[in-house]
Structures are given as C-alpha cells and as structure tokens.
Structure 1
C-alpha cells in the first residue's frame, strides 16, 4: 500500500478488512450497501477487553453526550469507566485517494502494534475505510486504464458519485445519500464520539499538510470549548510532526471554521471535536513535482 503508481481497488480492501475481522481487537460491520451496491464498512478497533463490553462503552459515550438527568457523581463515574471514542472517515472525495489507501495499514497497526497498546486500552476507534466506495472504484479503474498514457494521473472526466459528485461532502445537513445516512447514524444515533477526523487532500502548490485548528472566523453557534479542543489536538499534531522532521505544515489557516455543511464541520455543532487534515495532492497515485518557486500561500 502507498507505492507510487499503485492504487488498490475497494473490493480488495474490503477483502483485507474481513481478514482483520479475525483479530480479537477488530470488529468489522457491513452497515449496508452504497448507492451502486458496494459494501459500506465500519471497523471498530479497541482492546479485546473493551470489545467484551462494547455495548456498555457505547451507552456511556451516549450518556456523556446527553447528560440530562444525570448527577455529577454519575457523570464522574462515566468519565472514569468509559473510553474515548474517536471516529475517522476516509476519501469521501474519491480523487483524494490517500485516506482509503492507508486505511488497511492504519487499522492493522492500531490493532496489533505494541506501541499502540495504550490506545487500544483507552480508546474505541471507529474507522470508515471508505466514505465513497463507488467513487473509489471509478477512480481506481480510471487511473489504471490511463497508466503509461499521456493522461496518467489526470482526474476523472466524470462525477465520482452517481448523484452528488464532489458535493457529497455538502450532504452533511440534508443527508440525502445513503452513505451520508449510514455514517451519521453511527455518529449521532449510536456512538456520539468525542472526536472525529475527516481525511482529505488539497491542492498541490500550497502547504504539504494542513492540520487543525480552523482559521478565523469560526461559527459562534459552536461551544467555544470545541475550538479550544481543536487547538489542543492541532498543537500535539504539530509537535509530533516537528519531532519527526516534517516540514511544510500549515495550521490555523486556509479553512475557516464557519463553513458548516460538510462532515468535518457538522460534528462541532454536536459538541464533537471535528478535525480536518488535508495533505497536498499528487497526480492521483503518480508522483508530482512542484518547484519551490511554484508554492503559493493558501489564502
């Protein structure tokens, strides 16, 4: 996964996730079918011990988000006994290929790596490996057809969702598409996670990677603590990226916190800390070279 000029197709990724389902730390659920009849998956990753009490953890997460009628002592008990729940979606925009391509490795690492033992013990990770399976198949097939031609790496000349195209990420309010409905049911009716990450790509000639928090202006209808949480998450991400020697990182710029119809923003209205990482685009899976003089500020 992640090799230059190689894209794995959704059916193969689905097959891999069903293999991961044999791990005591992974439970894979087919939530339903996409618009064009492809499997729509959710992978729940946590420790074996947490899997044994998954219904209880889900109920506690829901109660923490809806504390009406609970005493302060009950809220404190839920905070002690519950686990952090984090949801993550990949590649709602099918030409932004990285999310779904890295999802199998991410799931494997979190489920098996000794360095992620603390994460497994204290966190329930809800991974949607592909928000747009139909588009993923379209883009992968298109890319493979154009390899070694003058059109290699060119974006698809057709919509990568049957009804919405790129605007599937404007459906977080209306929920007109089955994919939107399945994700939102898990997010807002079943689990109500404390944090959410929506993986995207951006243009090729700006920063190499964008991380939270959002830029001003931010929506005044969102609890200020959510924007503070974004700063905490983003600060940790920036520190870790700096320690790893990564450069070209941008934060608190480009994307303001007031454009609310997308899936990374809507959670903020539900007191879920929505986060939007964006990485610079290649030519789908073909490497892209940009001269330093071509780089431009994002806004």
Structure 2
C-alpha cells in the first residue's frame, strides 16, 4: 500500500494551536513526554494550573510508575473516549521553554522523519532541563529510633522493612506487593513517610583544553627568546586578563601552529595547561534545531 505523500515543509499551525504566549483555556492538553515514545498523551489541567499551562512549557506528568518531564503541544483537546486523564502535576516554567513555532517544527520533524516525538522534543529543550519524580518511602525520626531498637517491640516484617530504609529513601516500586500493607501500617504508626523524590537530569558536558601564562609577562617574553612562534604564543596569552585561562583551540585560531609548542612551553615552566567543562551553547538547545533542520527539496 502506497504511503501518503508528506509535506515538503513544516505544516501550517493545526487547529487548536496557539499564538506565542497564549494561555490554555481548555480542560485537557496534549503533552509530549521526553522519552523515546511516538505518541502524545492527554492530561487534565487542574484549575490552579490553567493560567500557567502554556504551549511550549515544560510540565511534570505521571507516566507509568514515575513522573517525567513533558512539553505541552496542544490545548483544547477532547479526552479519549472511556479514559479519564490524570492531572498535570506541575508546570515547571514561568515562561515557555520552547516558542510555539519551535513546538510546531518538532511535531513536523517527528512526523516527516518518523522519529519518536519525545526524543525530538528532548533534543529541542536546553540540555539538563529534564526532571522526573518518584514516589519514595523514608524513615521518620520515630522510625529511625525504632530501627535502632529504641521503643516497643515490632513484628518481624515491620522490623525487616525498617532495616531496608536505614540511611536512604527507597522507591515505592522497589517493594513487593506483599510489603505494601506493611508500609501502610508503618505510615499509620508514624514510623515511615511517603513522598516524591525529584531527579534532575545529569548532563555530561564536553571538556576543552586550556592554557595560561605561568610566569610574569616580562619573564615569559625573555624566555621566549628569538623564536617567532614561541614569542607569538606568549603575546597571545599576555593579551588575556591576568590569571585567566584561554582555550587551546582559541589560541590555535590566533596563532597558527601553536598547539605543538605548548608541551615544550609547559616543560620550560612558561605556561600551565589544564581542562574545563565547556559552557552550554546553542548547539545543545532547540536553537540549533530551528536553524539546522531544513525541509528536503
């Protein structure tokens, strides 16, 4: 069966889309969760969040056993027949993380390239902006005392469960079904408490090599001698604010052929070499998606 032809460019805004900064007026919204899934999911907007649920905003929503980050992509949608959508738990942004036109572009990219919408949306968000939450069980002050043998005797199942919680909060999903009634009894007795543990996505940033002068400028100039390349490197580093580092790549742009000299200059005690995490830039946010993804001819 032939597949329908796709549009050669991003589609016009579908009915139900909003202009930038528009507020959600409906009861339900469609959310793209930032996981490798294709579908969009319908959630109910509690009255307290209606004024903050904005197209392009990040939201925290229940997805399976935990809460994950999602992005509002549609509003004024009908709830699926026979399904009662769960509530949006939290709106994570005071202002939208993504502009409406970028949300539309993400929807088009996912459709055209048959890519999971969640991954496309995650790529568009600033790195490290994802959050998730898990239901956890932890000891109360009384529970810590009971785990240390202080107080009255406890049934063996309760003692064993308290021992699991010493020094840490444990996700509710880690407990077997038979342990859930024990947890309920311990909560009633004030020995444990339940709550949410918020997880921030950890981002491993790229690192870059850096260099700076290790001696006063006059001493470095004298030590450079009559070597034009060594002297040029010293002058380039002297132009940097005292004590600050310069990226080796930036130095190479200023002084051609400088990289091979750095080890020798370090050995002579004229420069210090190190490395640092590179700051996030537009290549790690949705800014690059809008500029780099081009419709095929």
Q: Which one has a bigger Cα radius of gyration?
A: 2
Larger proportion of helix = 1
With normalisation by structure 1, the TM-score equals: 0.22
Q: Higher RCO, 1 or 2 (CA under 8 Å, sep at least 6)?
A: 1
Larger proportion of strand = 2
